[in-house]
Amino acid sequence: MNFTKLALPVIALGAAAVLLTPGSSDAYSLIGGSLSQTQRDFRTFNNFTDNAANNNNTPATQFPGAQGAVMAIWKGSIEWGSELHGNGNGDNHQVGGLGSGGANFDPSHQGEANGVGGTNDNIHSELSGGSGGVLAFTETPISNGWRIRYYESWTWNDGPGTNVSGTDLQGVACHEYGHALGLGHSNSGAATMFPSISGSGVVQRSISTDDSNGLKAIYGTKSSSKPLITGYSIAGNQLTVNGTGFNGSGNQVWFTQANSGGNGTPVKVTNVNSPSGTSLTVTIPSNAGPGDILVRRNSSANSGLSNAFPTDLQGAVGSTPPVFSSASPTSVEAVVVDGPQTVVFTGQNFTGITELKVDGVVLSTGLPPQYTVLNDTTLSVSWPPVSQLGNIAVEATNASGTTTTTYQVVANEPPVFEMGNSIPSFLVTAQGLSLTAGSSPGDIFYFAASPSNAPTNIPGIVNMAIGNNYTQMFIIITPVIPAKGYVSVTVPIGGLPTGFNIYTQGAVLRAANLYALPATATNVQTGTVLF
């Protein structure tokens, strides 16, 4: 039996009966061996005697059904997973999100155990007494499992925040679980696998590049063919898992056991088909509970098991926050002639959306709708005017939380002219003439109107499609385009008879050309006075 330990800095630490193998030029070391797919489960026997070890009783959607020491150890273990855990939320201390070790390895949370178990039962638990400056140790047969023990002589804190009074259980669990995976100690002071901690041990929560490199040395760098879960939906007792890399047939879906005290083996649904390779549907087993789901391809290789995705198995579609994957088109101009522009977002968990914001403004589902949920993976947005060019925040909220992505708005090139009430092309004199110019910031935009669609050509100055050689042209206003890439005005048109045609166009002096002539002419817009 091998033992690896984590100690306070004042203790010189070695690893008894463990062969430490240097990892090339990196600082990590390996103890030999790796966990097979059948040994990816982990449980916690919550016998921690400190109240601080179980003072976090706030539910977390990323860790459904867990709290206190169980949640802290779950967080510490899942940090080694191949992908962010769900959307990566759940721990504000984790820079860049919780998880994503980048290797072909993912653990399977299996809830609480009813005892400390044996040395190959994959259980975290407290141990009475103490051993000098040693905080915890890992018993590592590795090929056939492991066991991690935490000495009760220390004050363990489940560490819901970054200010931990006592010793951070999550950080120490992250270190010790690294041993269970086959890692020895690292010579890098920034690594989770460094043999000692300073302060409470909160910094141990986030694995470093050196830790990740060691993990990859054992399990291989994450394969592009590795199954990836991106979201799920529930309808009745049917669970649909969405992602990539599923086999056409022979898949397994792994669930967390519903109740504590199980043997650690995931609840499995086998022989699941996925004709598309991107989704599969199963009946939720009666003995499955909140926790993680994983998809196993018909392969025992390290790359055959997916990431662990938090799943509470409660309620309907939207039990996890929305997920944005892509958008079409990939950008939109500030002004869309005869718009608005429809932007289609793809992702997961859109069906349960309760609020959608663009640029901080809540969009409406009234008539006409500003956004429409087409299905659980498709969201259609009538893109509204926004306050700036560049990346614009899009926020989708459901019962489980809010997800934010960005969408790019660019300046109009070439400049465009929009008569806002020209669709339908009838004008009401009492409403005035609504005009919008789209161009690069700093451009000078001349609004022009005419009852004639005969052209105006002034050589070297401007060539426009309206105005009858400037004899029937009116320059309405000359605004400068602001930083948001567009400007809108409303011009009174009272007293015009029914049936009167108005032609509008813009002429633009470009800031990028130092306002040199000739001016750039825009598109033409037309409207007819209705009354």
Provide mean pLDDT across the span 497-518: 94
pTM of the model: 0.59
Quickly list DSSP for 360-403: TEE---SSS-SEEEEETTEEEEEPPP-SSSEEEEEEEEETTEEE
- Of the ranges 210-224, 420-434, 468-482, the best mean pLDDT one: 210-224
| CATH architecture under which domain 416-529 falls | Single Sheet (2.20)
Quickly list DSSP for 112-162: E-SS---TTS-EEEEESS-BTTEEEEEEEEETTEEEEEEETTS-EE--SSS
Residues contacting residue 25 through CB under 8 Å, at least 6 positions apart:
none
Separation CA 342–CA 332 (nearest Å): 9
Domain ranges (residues) in the chain = 3-219, 228-311, 323-410, 416-529
The model's confidence at residue 485, banded by pLDDT at 50, 70 and 90, is very high
Residue of 112, 64, 108 lying closest to 90 (CA atoms): 64
Provide mean pLDDT across the span 234-262: 89
341 has pLDDT over 90: yes
Residue 187: strand, helix, or coil = coil
Q: Is the dihedral of CA 122, 126, 132, 133 positive or negative?
A: positive
Among the four given CATH numbers 2.30.30, 1.10.3470, 1.25.40, 2.60.40, the one describing domain 228-311:
2.60.40
Torsion, CA 146, CA 136, CA 17, CA 212, rounded to 10:
70
Give the chain's mean pLDDT.
Answer: 87
326 has pLDDT over 60: yes
- CATH number 3.60.20.10 given to 3-219: no
The model's confidence at residue 476, banded by pLDDT at 50, 70 and 90, is confident
**136-190 tens-digit pLDDT:** 999 976 678 999 999 999 999 987 665 667 899 999 999 999 999 999 999 999 9
Q: What percent of the chain has pLDDT over 90?
A: 61
266 has pLDDT over 70: yes
Separation CA 98–CA 207 (nearest Å): 10
247, 298 in Cβ contact below 8 A? yes
If you count DSSP H runs as helices and E runs as strands, how many of each does the chain have, helices first?
A: 3, 36
| CATH architecture under which domain 323-410 falls | Sandwich (2.60)
Provide mean pLDDT across the span 54-75: 90
Domains 3-219 and 416-529 share a fold: no
pLDDT at res. 5: 57
Cross-strand partners of 375? 378
- Of the ranges 153-167, 252-266, 341-355, 458-472, the best mean pLDDT one: 458-472
